[in-house]
Amino acid sequence: MFKRLLPDQIVNTVFDIDLDELKARGVKGIITDLDNTLVSARTPLATPELVGWLDIVKDLGFKVVILSNNNNSRVSKFAEPLGIPFIPAARKPAGASFRRALRLMNLAPEHAVVVGDQMLTDVLGGRRAGLHTLLVTPIAPREEGWATQINRRIEKIALARLRKKGLWPEKGGN
């Protein structure tokens, strides 16, 4: 049961993603979560460092879509200044939102990845949609809402079981 929560890769931050390796594997699109993946939940706009990273992502030819469970107001204020398409109120891990993101990029699942900070939303949803999943360390977990805090408790249980079975990948792993 918990195997569906296993990410394909674990990195500390989006800045640690090996974009050249993704490109070499034929990846053309990145579906990314917003809160605690790109910026903290209380950071309204992209940081200069993130803007620079997104510029590199775009220069390498990747398409990007922000897929967030947060509301339209939050996500649009963040994504529109960057010119990045977005899907708010995504209801992750529901597969429909991931399929919609793929349609926005006009890509098949094997040509896209999902980047996020939660096993129960980003990883599970991405795996269910047939996508390669990258789990990042949450930027500011103390700023999370009640629903995410519940998810984190469930994730702790899943993580303990996966580690006990020797299934949890190391950071930077395949």
> CA triplet 126, 94, 87: central angle to 5 degrees?
85
Domain membership flag for residue 171:
no
Domain containing 35 equals: 2-164
Q: How confident is the model at residue 140 (pLDDT cuts 50, 70, 90)?
A: confident
Domain membership flag for residue 172:
no
Name which residue leads in pLDDT, 29 or 159.
Answer: 29
DSSP letter assigned to residue 66: E
Residue 35 pLDDT: 94
Rounded CA separation 132/50 (Å): 22
Q: How confident is the model at residue 152 (pLDDT cuts 50, 70, 90)?
A: low
Q: How confident is the model at residue 164 (pLDDT cuts 50, 70, 90)?
A: confident
Domain membership flag for residue 20:
yes
Mean pLDDT value across residues 95-106: 97
**Collapsing DSSP states into helix, strand and coil, what is residue 172?**
coil
Residue 122 pLDDT: 96
Q: Hey, what amino acid is at 21?
A: E
Query: Residue 112: pLDDT above 90?
Result: yes
State residue 62 phi and psi, 5-degree precision. Answer: -75, 140
Residue 141 pLDDT: 62
Q: Number of folded domains in the chain? A: 1
CB 99 within 8 A of CB 66: no
**Alpha helices per DSSP H over the chain:** 19-24, 48-59, 72-79, 95-105, 124-128, 146-164
Domain membership flag for residue 173:
no
Query: Residue 174: pLDDT above 50?
Result: no
Domain membership flag for residue 41:
yes
